[in-house]
Structure 1
Amino acid sequence: MVNSGFTHTLPVLRVLENEHQFLMHEMSQWHAIVLDFEKGLYSREEGLVALKQLRKMIVAFIEPLKNHTEKEEKYLFPMLSLYVGNDQGPVQAVQEEHDEIDAYIGHFLHHTRGDLSSFSLEMMQDVVKDAGEAFEVIMIHFVKEENVIFPMVINVLRAKEQDDLFDQLYTSILPE
Structure 2
Amino acid sequence: METKRFKFDLPALQVLENEHQYLTYLMDNWHPIVLGFERNIYSLEEAREAIGSLRKALIEFIEPFKNHTEKEEDILFPELAQYIGGDQGPVKAVEEEHEELDAYIGHFLHHTRGSLEDLSLKDLEAVARDAGEAYEAITVHFIKEESIVFPMVESMLRIEQQDALFEKLYTPIL
- TM class by shorter chain equals over 0.9
Show the counterpart of 1:118. 118
**What is the alpha-carbon distance in structure 2 between the residues aligned to residue 147 and residue 55 of structure 1?**
31
Question: Alpha carbon RMSD of aligned pairs, Å?
Answer: 0.9
| AA of the residue aligned to 2:146 | E
Show the counterpart of 2:71. 71
Partner of 1:93, secondary structure, is helix
- Cα displacement (A) at 1:4: 4.1
Partner of 1:173, secondary structure, is coil
Percent identity of the aligned residues? Answer: 59
**What is the alpha-carbon distance in structure 2 between the residues aligned to residue 4 and residue 32 of structure 1?**
27
- Cα displacement (A) at 1:118: 1.5
Partner of 2:6, secondary structure, is coil
What is the count of residue pairs matched by the alignment? 174
**What is the alpha-carbon distance in structure 1 between the residues aligned to residue 32 and residue 162 of structure 2?**
37
- Correspondence list, 1:14-93, <5 A: 14-93=14-93
- Give TM-score scaled by structure 1 length: 0.97
Q: Which runs of 5+ in 2 are unaligned?
A: none
Q: Does 1:8 align with 2:20?
A: no
- Cα displacement (A) at 1:5: 2.2
- Cα displacement (A) at 1:3: 2.1
- Give TM-score scaled by structure 2 length: 0.98
**What is the alpha-carbon distance in structure 2 between the residues aligned to residue 9 and residue 78 of structure 1?**
21
Q: Does 1:152 align with 2:152?
A: yes
**What is the alpha-carbon distance in structure 1 between the residues aligned to residue 145 and residue 110 of structure 2?**
28
**What is the alpha-carbon distance in structure 1 between the residues aligned to residue 60 and residue 99 of structure 2?**
19
Show the counterpart of 2:132. 132
Q: 1:120-173 CA distances to partner (integer Å, 9 max, x unpaired)?
A: 111100111111111111011100100001101111110111111100000111
**What is the alpha-carbon distance in structure 2 between the residues aligned to residue 2 and residue 62 of structure 1?**
33
**What is the alpha-carbon distance in structure 1 between the residues aligned to residue 32 and residue 9 of structure 2?**
31
| AA of the residue aligned to 1:115 | S
Q: 1:41-86 CA distances to partner (integer Å, 9 max, x unpaired)?
A: 1000100100000000000000000000000000000010010001
The runs of 4+ residues in structure 1 deviating greater than 4 Å are none
**What is the alpha-carbon distance in structure 1 between the residues aligned to residue 45 and residue 146 of structure 2?**
40
Q: Which runs of 5+ in 1 are unaligned?
A: none
| AA of the residue aligned to 2:104 | Y
- Cα displacement (A) at 1:117: 1.1
